[in-house]
Amino acid sequence: MLSVLCRHALDLGWIERNPVVDVPKLKGGEYKAWPEAKLRAFENAARSTENWTALTAYELAIGTGQRLGDCIKMRWSDIDGDFVRVIQEKTGADLWVYCPARLQTYLGTLPKRGEYILAKNLTQPLGKRQVQETIEKVRKAIDALEGDSRLVPHGWRYTAAMQLAETGCSDADIQAVSGHRTLEMVQKYRRGANQKAASRRTQLARERTDKNGNRT
């Protein structure tokens, strides 16, 4: 953003050179879907330490495919039968997301401590940073906080979308859950799911072929 503003100022003659033109860009990383083993490890670690805030945030994110901030803002009154209403903070999308049986069962075990599912008090939700800190404790316990094994809560959204893609859901169906404004990211999940499926088919075919090239 600063580079764009400086280029504009340069075009207008307000400055003589762009002071950020030679500053190297930060290396960005992609959010990753969580491997199955890490999902189970997170669940077990959260339960064993009775970190219910982290576990509830996890179940909401995996179950609905929404961003952590939107999960924190979910109210009990947003649940209507089998659906939960989500108004995405980033996109403004107004969604009704079906709650899978697992999430419905989990929510049925939670005490209602206030207006929000992740309640700070009777009328306010927990702060995002507070929820993140509880999640960080579990991530640290399962070696998912730093380095090459680092996994972040936003990856749960990717995980949910990838799981939907792996079941054969269409791009439009996945978008109906995730609320992405464009199909670009949804198609990324589709490519990943298709690649895994193709790899499985190919390797299974290889196993059925003996060393002489004959089908077993």
Specify if 214 maps to a domain: no
Query: CB of 64 within 8 A of CB of 103?
Result: yes
Q: What is the pLDDT of residue 211?
A: 57
Residue 57, pLDDT > 80, answer: yes
The span from the CA of 157 to the CA of 207, in Å, is 34
Do residue 2 and residue 82 come from a single domain?
no
What one-letter code names the amino acid at 84?
V
Q: What is the pLDDT of residue 28?
A: 45
Q: Quick one: average pLDDT of 32-59?
A: 96
Do residue 4 and residue 107 come from a single domain?
no
Interacting residues of 38 by C-beta distance below 8 A, sequence separation 6+:
142, 144, 151
Q: How confident is the model at residue 192 (pLDDT cuts 50, 70, 90)?
A: low
Q: Give the CATH number, domain containing residue 63.
A: 1.10.443.10
13-22, 24-33, 49-58, 148-157, range with greatest mean pLDDT? 49-58
For 68-129, the DSSP string reads HHHHHT-BGGGEETTEEEEE-TTT--EEEEEPPHHHHHHHHTS---SSBSSBSSSS-BPPHH
* Radius of gyration of the chain, Cα coordinates, nearest whole angstrom: 22
Model confidence pLDDT, tens digit, residues 124-172 = 999 999 999 999 999 999 999 999 999 999 999 888 888 888 888 787 7
Q: What is the pLDDT of residue 1?
A: 73
Q: What is the pLDDT of residue 196?
A: 62
Specify if 216 maps to a domain: no
Answer with the residue of higher pLDDT: 117 or 1. Answer: 117
Residue 95, pLDDT > 60, answer: yes
Domain that holds residue 134: 36-207
Do residue 112 and residue 140 come from a single domain?
yes
Q: What is the pLDDT of residue 149?
A: 92
The span from the CA of 53 to the CA of 129, in Å, is 12
Domain count for the chain = 2
Q: Quick one: average pLDDT of 15-34?
A: 71
Do residue 1 and residue 103 come from a single domain?
no
Do residue 64 and residue 10 come from a single domain?
no
Answer with the residue of higher pLDDT: 82 or 167. Answer: 82
Q: What is the pLDDT of residue 47?
A: 97
The span from the CA of 46 to the CA of 65, in Å, is 20
Round the average pLDDT of the chain to a whole number and report it: 85
Q: How confident is the model at residue 31 (pLDDT cuts 50, 70, 90)?
A: confident
Do residue 67 and residue 100 come from a single domain?
yes
